[in-house]
């Protein structure tokens, strides 16, 4: 079988970017990552400012089959000292693995993906890690875990011994111009806009009391990471004080955020819910969101 597993070299960048972008596009419409953005993730992930500082080793491997890069994987090895979070201490992670699915003109592509997964385990053995994780965290908004659009990747992980023992998360998307803009449910309700912990915070103010807020992050395409991204944002936080819930304040806040995002030209807004959080999923649907994907998080072996 003509499969060669080797380290990524710079000359692979266009083929690997095409492979990565095909997986991204199957999850998020019209989105892609630039070659420069992909190379940046292979070196460091500044957006993961807590977890990334625990990484001690980074390796990217490719599976070359008949002269073509058919699969690629990015691996991380974490530290084993007290500065590393306990869940990551002395762990190895397949940050992502992508592979072309079988096609009539290339029916044995999955064999390369399986061989690559075996090579990932071999790398973990060389690092001497005590636990092993797998994910699909490509450098694009809304793409993490193993989305339902990648059954071939899930199959590779499962054949390599990984099992899903985490949660399933639902990713929602809405066109900003399609989000509901309800009127204020209380005449005296007002807003205040500040910088929040996860983006711009729009706070619902009732008299002198803060009764809720929504945070929206519009910095998803900062720098050279994305190409053909358009203008996307995601909901960083949405909170309503328990004493003021079920008064349509949350819906009103989403509408206020939509108005603000529209002024800046944002086209789409992402939000997330656990698969078993029916009430929040129903709230998002009523506000104008639709399901983009369901993604399985927490593969381990």
The string of DSSP letters for 202-261 reads EEEEETTEEEEEEEEE--TT-TTSEES--SEEEEEEEEE-GGGTTSSHHHHHHHHHHHHH
Question: Considering only CA atoms, which of 275, 78, 269, 42 is closest in space to residue 177?
Answer: 269
Same domain, yes or no, for 137 and 23?
yes
Question: Considering only CA atoms, which of 291, 211, 271 is closest in space to residue 246?
Answer: 211
Cα(68)–Cα(103) distance, rounded to whole angstroms? 14
pLDDT tens sequence across 185-233: 999 999 999 999 999 999 999 999 999 999 999 887 654 445 445 589 9
Q: What is the pTM of this model?
A: 0.93
Same domain, yes or no, for 85 and 22?
yes
Domain boundary among 130, 164, 198: 164
Same domain, yes or no, for 114 and 233?
no
The CATH number for 143's domain is 3.40.630.30
pLDDT tens sequence across 245-300: 999 999 999 999 999 999 999 999 999 999 999 999 999 999 999 999 999 999 99
The conformation of residue 52, written as its DSSP 8-state character, comes to: G
State mean pLDDT over 98-111. 96
Give residue 265's domain range.
Answer: 173-296
Is 301 within a domain?
no
Cα(38)–Cα(3) distance, rounded to whole angstroms? 24
Same domain, yes or no, for 106 and 179?
no
């Amino acid at each position: 079988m003509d499969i060669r597993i080797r380290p990524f070299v710079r000359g692979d960048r266009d083929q690997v970017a095409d492979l990565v972008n095909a997986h991204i596009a199957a999850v998020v419409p019209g989105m892609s990552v630039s070659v420069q953005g992909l190379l940046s993730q292979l070196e460091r992930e500044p957006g993961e400012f807590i977890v990334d500082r625990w990484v001690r080793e980074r390796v990217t491997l490719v599976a070359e089959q008949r002269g073509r890069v058919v699969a690629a994987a990015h691996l991380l090895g974490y530290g084993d000292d007290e500065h590393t979070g306990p869940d990551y201490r002395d762990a190895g992670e397949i940050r992502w693995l992508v592979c072309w699915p079988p096609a009539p003109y290339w029916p044995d592509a999955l064999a390369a993906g399986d061989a690559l997964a075996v090579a990932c385990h071999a790398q973990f053995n060389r690092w001497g890690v005590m636990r092993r994780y797998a994910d699909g965290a490509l450098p694009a908004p809304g793409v993490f875990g193993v989305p339902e659009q990648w059954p071939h990747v899930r199959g590779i992980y499962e054949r390599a011994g990984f099992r899903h023992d985490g949660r399933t998360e639902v990713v929602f998307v809405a066109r900003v111009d399609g989000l509901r803009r309800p009127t204020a449910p209380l005449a005296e309700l007002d807003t205040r806009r500040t910088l929040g912990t996860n983006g711009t915070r729009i706070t619902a103010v009732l008299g002198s009391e803060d009764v809720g807020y929504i945070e929206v992050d519009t910095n998803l395409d900062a720098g050279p990471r994305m190409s053909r991204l358009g203008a996307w944002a995601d909901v960083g936080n949405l909170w309503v004080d328990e004493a003021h819930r079920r008064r349509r304040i949350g819906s009103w806040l989403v509408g206020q955020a939509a108005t603000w995002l529209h002024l800046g030209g944002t086209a789409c807004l992402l939000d997330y819910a656990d698969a078993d959080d029916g009430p929040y999923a129903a709230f998002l649907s009523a506000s104008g969101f639709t399901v983009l994907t369901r993604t399985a998080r927490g593969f381990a072996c």
